[in-house]
Structure 1
């Protein structure tokens, strides 16, 4: 029997498309929130830019603005904690197979410019996102084909 401190991390399995779409929306929101909190002051215009970007691109039509705003506020608060990097990584990893990288970077750049003052820490946050989108391990596929492939190993 293992205790909570030594057990392996729980791998997120995506079993239904709706939860997958939700995870993609959270990944987009966290990219914006990371840049917004980087300069230690989250401006309402930065928060609004995240929602505007998602709506303009039609990236989360199944999630209402109120839910996206709540996600932003919750994630921005979490990103103030010392383990913020783990929060970002854990949020981005499940959707690393999606072609979201360009959206994540563009969204982060728009958030940085939204308050008309690009702070050096916001630039660092964008660089971190670029690095993470390049190096995160790909999510493991889930479904009948993945089960068959796993049993052959």
Structure 2
């Protein structure tokens, strides 16, 4: 029997509310992989390994250890088996919605689906869901240098 969401105890600080930008970005990437991993109701070790390898190879969360990523994956995969899984996904993606992670979220989900060499139809649905979510995530905004912003403000632009 799976524990309910309230009885799950976060590890090493709240994963569901990571404090640093690196942890938030890592959690977003991990949730994308975990969502696909749990879709077929069989989370394989190779899927967790693919998540950590993907993040490491691309240097996407350099300040987060592999052990931390693996622990994050395990906890989030367990949380995704609860009835409120959609809220878990949204709450994990929301803090980093202005970062340019959308392509990585889809890429990691596809890599996890293929990791166990059996792409289940529910994994395909999870990837489609992530694609839709990335379409509605705000794009990263370009920030003009301070001098340029001040110049526009002074000229009334």
Superposed pair shares fold, TM > 0.5:
yes
Residues 107-118 of structure 1: matches in 2 within 5 Å?
107-118=108-119
* CA shift for structure 1 position 134: 1.1
Pick the structure with greater CA Rg: 2
Superposition pairs of residues 74-153 of structure 1, within 5 angstroms: 74-136=75-137
Deviations 1:71-110 (CA, angstroms, capped at 9, x unpaired)? 0000000000011011001100111111100000000000
Following superposition, which runs of at least 4 residues in structure 1 exceed 3 angstroms of deviation? 136-139
Q: Please state how far the C-alpha of 1:137 moved relative to its aligned partner.
A: 5.5
> Are the counterparts in 2 of residues 93 and 137 from structure 1 also a CA contact under 8 Å?
no
**Residues 93-133 of structure 1, C-alpha deviation per residue, up to 9 Å, x if partnerless?**
11111110000000000000000000000000001111111
Q: Does structure 2 conserve the Cα–Cα contact (< 8 Å) formed by 1:36 and 1:43?
A: yes
Indicate the residue corresponding to 1:25 in structure 2: 26
Please provide the CA RMSD for this pair.
1.7
How many angstroms apart in 2 are the aligned matches of 1:93 and 1:137? 10
TM-score normalized with structure 1 length: 0.77
Q: Distance in 2 between matches of 1:137 and 1:103?
A: 15
User: Within 5 A, what are the aligned runs for 1:34-73?
Assistant: 34-73=35-74
Structure 1 gap ranges (5+): 1-17, 140-144, 146-153
Unaligned runs of at least 5 residues, structure 2: 1-18, 141-145, 147-157
Residues 36, 113 of structure 2: 8 Å contact kept:
yes
Q: Which has the higher contact order (CA 8 A, sep 6+)?
A: 1
CA contact (8 A) 2:32 2:109 kept: yes
